[in-house]
Structure formats: structure tokens, C-alpha cells
Structure 1
């Protein structure tokens, strides 16, 4: 390798190191927006992929509390939470209706077409990444005897799954343009009660 090539390689390496440092600095600055418990919940649940139960064992408290803490952290980092970036509510309701219809049909291909490629689903089992995996998880929401109803979940467009008239899971959606980019899946009586879903009339 000649001297010019060596110098180019060294400059490229130095540039990459500078970029890595800048990205790390930005990530740490973002984490500084969070409270201590939110930061721990976000790192354990979202970054390292621990379930809410495992996160709760580290943090103390209940799995529902750990999941809510991680959810609040995501909302603060995103600037207000899923679905609150000023998009057209009517278009989002139509997108959710199409998503629910595909979920009822257990059609993972149709579900994936409504998702951003980098979509993420968060549940008590930890995060699931990528449109195909999220679509497969969503298809599982509408098993036999499950009724999916549109609802407002913590003020965001979402849905609630019922079995024998009893709510068993709630889903809120995050959006990017004309695709769903995030799902928050909450189960358990305490978790659902804390969300306080609101159902449209009719």
C-alpha cells in the first residue's frame, strides 16, 4: 500500500471514530432527558430487549410498572408519544381499520404491507423488530373468539382485543407518514385499567 493510500485509510478511520463519538454523544444527550427510572427501563427493555418482568426484577416494582416506565421514556424521546406528530387523524383511522381487518383475517402479508420496514412492536415479552416479525405478532392478536375494536389508547389511535366481552389486550400505534412504525401492546388487568381506553360511539 502506498503512502497516499495509508494516509487516506488513516483519515477515513479518524472520520469514523469522530462519527462514532458524535453518535454516542447524541445518544447520551437524549438519555439525559429522561428521569433515572425511565432511563433504566428504556435501556433494559428497549436497548437490551429484556421483558417487563425481567426489567421489573432489576428495577423493583411490577412488570406493568416497568412497561409503563419504558413507554413513558419512548414517548418523551419521540416528543410526545405515538401518533402525536400532527398527521391526519382520518387517514390514521383508515390505516388502523385496514390493519385490524388484516389482523382479523390473520393475513401477515397484508399486515406487513401497512408497516414501515423498521417497525417495532413492544409487549411484555420485549421488543420485536422489523415488519415481518411485527406482522406475525399482530396476526396472533386476533385468535379464535377474539374481538378487535378500534379505540383511543392514552389519547392515541389504537384498538382493544376482547374475549367473551372482557378486554384482554390494548394496542396503540405510532405512525410515520402512511405507514405504522410502532405498536405498544399492553396486557394484564392493571395495565389495561391504567391505559383507560375510550371507544368511539356506535
Structure 2
């Protein structure tokens, strides 16, 4: 995203507005990311909000923070509505864009820990209005009056939207709740089995009804449809490893949870995230589209 030009315009309040904008930028990007599931789109939305602020009568804005959050939310909601149409033509399954929360959390999207991968996937099943009400109120703590201002609806209507969204999220998310230490243990065991091509080991880790979703966006090789069943998922994963002479996993943290950075021939090849329930892997999400790996800080480097 282009940086705001501190010299743009000659309004006496522009300097103060820029300082406040820069202070709020991580939160604004976080709000937009929660609504869109895309860092690139979120940054574009925040830049658009800044440009709109420059064209406004800054002195007449009593609550600059509220104005920026509301404007960012409205812009993100507009993008989300149009994005849902574009995603219908997306090649293969569409997954959110992962954000690495290590090694330097200060550089990651604000509140990425709160926007867990499992939550982002569930949010994709909500309507735009439900998603906005839930993210703004439940994740970022806005009042329903503030949510209503962003959505152009009454506080009561926003309360109902958030309630419906919350019920939906709670029905879907609890099955993925797992102790962090157990999650890391399963992820490491999964990595060893994948790298070694151990089909039996993978099958033992996978739930019988496990589902693998691979997002290549038509840019790189990936499964065009979800793969279902432990045996089919295990064989697919072993087949992927067998195609490459140099294939490795590096443990990292994505959206506040453990994930695997795939390195193929010294190049970043994707991110794999696991949904775990009762000690078994129920979901394998592989993000391979290079356009969605911009939030990953670690790059290939000699060891």
C-alpha cells in the first residue's frame, strides 16, 4: 500500500489527522482484514479511507477515530459484496489469506491472534452483513450504535445480525478447539509423516472423514475440489511430497496458531493449517496461491 503523503493538501488539520491515521492504521487494516480475509484488499481499503479523509472537512469531524473505523468498515463491506461475486469464478476452492504472527507480531495485522484461521474459514459462510456485525462487535469491540453507523442499520438490527452470526460461529468453531500444546504436537507429527511420505502414519493422524482443501487459484498446481476421507487425503499428501526432490516444512505461527510453511527447492510453496478435534485432524487447508502468501514474513534463506 502506498504511504499517505504528509504534504498532500494544505489543510491545517491534515498533520494531526495523518498522525492519528498512522496510529490507527494497524487496527484499521485488522478491521478490513476481518471483513475480507485478504491483506491486500484490506490495505487498499485503508488507503481509500485515508484519501476520503483528505477530501473531507477534517475540522468538522468530531470523532476522528470513529470516522476512520466507520469509513473503513463501509468501504470493506462494499468490497466484500463485490468480492463474493468474483470468488464464484475463482479457480478451485477459495481460502482466506493467512497472516504470520511470528517472529515479529508487531508487523502482523492487528488482532490477527483474535482472527484465528478456523474463525476466518467460518466467517466465509456468513452473509456480508452478518460478518460485518460479528467482526466489528465481537472481535473489535464496537458498540452496536457504532456498528449501525458503519452498516447503515439500526443498533437493534445489528444486534440481531451479530447474534445470528455468533450462533453460527459457535456451532462450527468448538469442534476445532484444542489445547495449544496438543495442537503443536499433532502438527509436528503430521509434518514428519508428510515429509517422509508415510501414508500409514498420516492415516492414523487423520479423522476418517477428514477434508483437504487446496487453494492454488489457478496460479499453481492444486486440487480443484476438496478431497474427503483419511485414505484419499493421506495418499494425496504423499503424492505431493513425492513430486519434489527438495521438500521441507518449517513450523511457524499463522493467525495465532501453529502452521507449516512449505519450502520447495528453497522457495516458499505455501502454508498448511490443520483443524483438530479429539486428537485427530479433521481439516487440512493448504494455501498455495502465491498472491495469498504476502502476509508470510519468513522467506527462503540458507541454513
TM-score, with structure 2 as normaliser: 0.41
Measured against aligned partners, the alpha-carbon deviations of 1:65-119 in whole angstroms (never above 9, x if no partner) come to 94439x8774235738879944211111111111111111101111010011110
Q: In the alignment, is the contact (CA less than 8 A) between 1:64 and 1:190 conserved in 2?
A: no
Give CA deviations for 1:26-46 in whole Å, capped at 9, x if unaligned. xxxxxxxxx8678x68xxxxx
* Paired residues for 1:187-198 under 5 Å: 187-194=288-295, 196=296
2:236 to 133, 137, 151: 137
The answer for the alignment partner of 2:131 in structure 1 is none
- Identify which of structures 1 and 2 has the higher relative contact order when contacts are C-alpha pairs closer than 8 Å and 6+ apart: 2
Gaps of 5+ in 2: 1-79, 98-117, 126-167, 216-223
Q: Is the 8 A contact 2:177 2:276 kept in 1?
A: no
SS at match of 1:90: helix
Contact 2:176 2:275 in 1 (8 A): no
Aligned to 1:68: 96
Q: Which has the higher strand share?
A: 1
Is 1:117 the counterpart of 2:212 in the alignment? no
Runs of 4+ in 1 over 6 A off after TM superposition: 35-38, 80-84
Task: For 1:182 and 1:137, locate their aligned partners in 2 and report how far apart those are by CA, in whole Å.
Answer: 14
Inter-partner Cα distance in structure 1 for 2:213 and 2:297: 18
Provide the C-alpha distance between the structure 1 equivalents of 2:206 and 2:121, rounded to a whole number of angstroms.
19
1:12 corresponding residue in structure 2: none
SS at match of 2:245: coil
Is the CA contact 1:119–1:181 (under 8 Å) kept in the aligned structure 2?
yes
Counterpart secondary structure, 1:193: coil
Q: Deviations over 1:39-60 (max 9, x none)?
A: x68xxxxxxxxxxxxx84xx35
Change (3 A) 1:156 1:84: farther
Contact 1:84 1:156 survives alignment (8 Å): no
Note the aligned Cα RMSD (angstroms): 3.6
- Which residue in the other structure is 2:187 paired with? 96
Q: How far apart, CA to CA, are the structure 1 residues paired with 2:209 and 2:93?
A: 26
Aligned to 1:144, the other structure's residue is in SS state coil
Cα contact 2:210–2:229 (8 A) shared by 1: yes
Tell me, yes or no, if structure 1 residue 154 matches structure 2 residue 255.
yes
Number of residue equivalences: 147
Partner of 2:227: 128
